[in-house]
């Protein structure tokens, strides 16, 4: 077995990168709509809330930055 502490630190860094460099990336379309080009979805309604809780805990444990909050069309400054 490799160094467990080193493995945990590597896993923490990978999970943090997963959120900050992939899931939290957002773009703006030509029409001004913000969107995430990479998403994780679930079609089982009974699994959505547990998945959200799991992802929130993963973000917390990895110390990833909070997710960017998307604004609805009515929230844009004129």
pLDDT tens digits for range 4-31: 999 999 999 999 999 999 999 889 999 9
pLDDT given at position 65: 87
pLDDT of 70 strictly over 90: no
Helices (H), the chain: 4-17, 45-62
Assigned domain for 49 exists = yes
Assigned domain for 50 exists = yes
Tracing tokens 């009974």 back to the chain, one arrives at 46
Q: What is the pTM of this model?
A: 0.73
pLDDT given at position 76: 47
Assigned domain for 30 exists = no
pLDDT of 72 strictly over 90: no
Assigned domain for 3 exists = no
pLDDT given at position 68: 66
Q: pLDDT tens for residues 47-61?
A: 999 999 999 999 999
Structurally, the chain folds into a number of domains equal to 1
Assigned domain for 72 exists = no
Assigned domain for 63 exists = yes
Q: What percent of the chain has pLDDT over 70?
A: 83
Assigned domain for 78 exists = no
Which residues on neighbouring strands pair with residue 20, listed in sequence order? none
Assigned domain for 47 exists = yes
């Amino acid at each position: 077995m490799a160094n467990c502490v080193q493995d945990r630190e590597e896993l923490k860094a990978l999970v943090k990168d997963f959120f900050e460099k992939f899931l939290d990336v957002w773009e703006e379309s030509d029409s001004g709509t913000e969107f995430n080009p990479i998403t994780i979805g679930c079609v089982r309604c009974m699994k959505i809330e547990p998945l959200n809780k799991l992802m929130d805990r993963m973000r917390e444990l990895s110390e990833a930055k909070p997710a960017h909050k998307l604004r609805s069309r009515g929230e844009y400054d004129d």
